[in-house]
């Protein structure tokens, strides 16, 4: 049986996953259901949904188990997402319930507790992309581990947003628009007009008195 502390910790992890992946109109109901569970009900819920958590996350002696968690489903494209980057070890997708424009998730392709070097490289690459294309003050980075799957969140900060700020549901069309902005090529400013203007100044006919 889970202790009260373990129960509360696991509930918070489940609620965090709900808030970052569920459509916003379903979040309140799902959260209420999780918060209303006692320890026994929570254990049955975890078993029913094959949500096994590692020992240091409060599941005692239960073995870790690779499951078809929501993040694995995004990687396998069972759940639709708007992808903005990828390498051999991870994908980058736009958060469906973002706090700010460009809020992104870096999801390892393997159901793993610790991100590999390649995952961190992709996180850094996407962070720089967000800074370059969306011009936030900064990009906050947060790592979270839910049911044995490490995920990195990238949050562009334009004013005073933080990871506990209110989330808003974004439509696929809205996320696709953000993706288009991120993929736009930076237009080079031509220096030719300036050079031609200088030529005009130098080659003006001399005034005859």
Q: What is the pLDDT of residues 78-102, one digit of tens each?
A: 888 999 999 999 999 999 889 999 9
Distance in angstroms (rounded) separating the CA atoms of residues 189 and 197: 15
74 and 36 fall within a common domain = no
Q: What is the pLDDT of residue 68?
A: 54
3-state secondary structure of 41: helix
Between 67 and 38, residue with greater pLDDT = 38
Whether residues 46 and 86 fall in one domain:
no
Tell me: do 45 and 78 sit in the same domain.
Answer: no
Tokens 């980075």 belong to: 141
Out of 19, 36, 57, a domain closes at 57
- pLDDT of the residue at 205: 55
The pLDDT of 12-39, averaged and rounded, is 75
pLDDT of residue 101: 96
Q: Is there a single domain that holds both residue 36 and residue 107? A: no
pLDDT band at 61 (very low <50, low <70, confident <90, very high): very low
Does the pLDDT of residue 132 top 90, yes or no? yes
Residue 196 counted as domain residue: no
Asked, for residue 159, whether it belongs to a domain, the answer is yes
Range of the domain at 41: 4-57
Task: Examine the domain organization and report whether 80 and 113 are in the same domain.
Answer: yes
Do 126 and 166 reside in the same domain of the chain?
yes
Q: Does residue 85 lie in a domain region?
A: yes
% of the chain with per-residue pLDDT over 90: 35
In whole angstroms, give the CA distance from residue 86 to residue 185: 18
Q: Is residue 139 part of a domain?
A: yes
Distance in angstroms (rounded) separating the CA atoms of residues 25 and 141? 26
Give the chain's mean pLDDT.
78
Residues 15 and 37 in one domain: yes
**87 part of a folded domain:** yes
> Residue 111 is part of a domain; what is its CATH number?
3.30.428.10
Number of domains present in the structure of the chain: 2
The alpha carbon of residue 113 and the mean position of all alpha carbons in its chain are separated, in whole angstroms, by 17
Higher per-residue confidence, 209 vs 152: 152
CA neighbor of 153 nearest in space, from 78, 89, 97, 109: 97
Q: Is there a single domain that holds both residue 111 and residue 175? A: yes
pLDDT tier for residue 63 given thresholds of 50, 70 and 90 = very low
- DSSP annotation of 55: G
Q: Is residue 103 part of a domain?
A: yes
Report yes or no on 124 lying in a domain.
yes
Any idea what the Cα angle at residue 122 is, between residues 120 and 126, rounded to 5°? 120
DSSP code, position 56 = G
Percent of the chain clearing pLDDT 70 (strictly above):
72
Terminal-to-terminal C-alpha distance of the chain:
104
Cβ atoms of residues 53 and 43 within 8 Å: no
The verdict on residue 63 lying in a domain is: no
Same-domain pairing of 105 and 19: no
d(CA 17, CA 5): 19
Q: Identify the domain boundary among 57, 87, 102.
A: 57
Same domain (yes/no): 77, 151 = yes
Say if residue 52's pLDDT is above 90. Answer: no
pLDDT score for 202 = 44
Q: Say whether pLDDT at 66 is over 50.
A: no
d(CA 16, CA 119): 21
The C-alpha torsion from 129 through 15 and 64 to 50, rounded to 10°, is -110
Q: Would you state the structure tokens that stand for residue 140, as one six-digit string?
A: 């906050």
pTM for this structure? 0.63
pLDDT band at 51 (very low <50, low <70, confident <90, very high): low
Do 11 and 104 lie in a common domain? no
- Statement: residue 182 has pLDDT above 50: yes
Q: Residue with structure tokens 């049955």?
A: 44
């Amino acid at each position: 049986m889970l202790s009260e502390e373990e129960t509360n910790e696991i509930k918070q992890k489940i609620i965090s996953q709900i808030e970052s992946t569920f459509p916003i109109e379903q979040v309140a109901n799902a959260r209420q259901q999780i918060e209303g569970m006692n320890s026994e009900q929570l254990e049955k819920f975890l078993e029913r949904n094959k949500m096994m958590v590692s020992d240091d996350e409060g599941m005692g002696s239960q073995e870790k188990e690779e499951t078809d968690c929501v993040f694995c489903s995004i990687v396998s494209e069972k759940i639709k997402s708007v992808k903005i980057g990828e390498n051999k070890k991870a994908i980058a997708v736009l958060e469906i319930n973002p706090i700010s424009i460009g809020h992104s998730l870096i999801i390892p392709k393997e159901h793993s507790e610790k991100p590999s070097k390649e995952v961190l490289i992709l996180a850094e690459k996407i962070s720089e992309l967000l800074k370059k294309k969306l011009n936030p003050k900064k990009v906050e980075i947060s790592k979270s581990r839910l049911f044995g799957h490490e995920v990195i969140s990238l949050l562009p900060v334009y004013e005073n947003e933080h990871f506990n700020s209110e989330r808003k549901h974004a439509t696929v069309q809205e996320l696709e628009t953000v993706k288009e902005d991120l993929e736009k090529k930076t237009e080079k400013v031509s220096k030719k007009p300036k050079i031609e203007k200088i030529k005009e100044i130098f080659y003006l006919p001399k005034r005859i008195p």
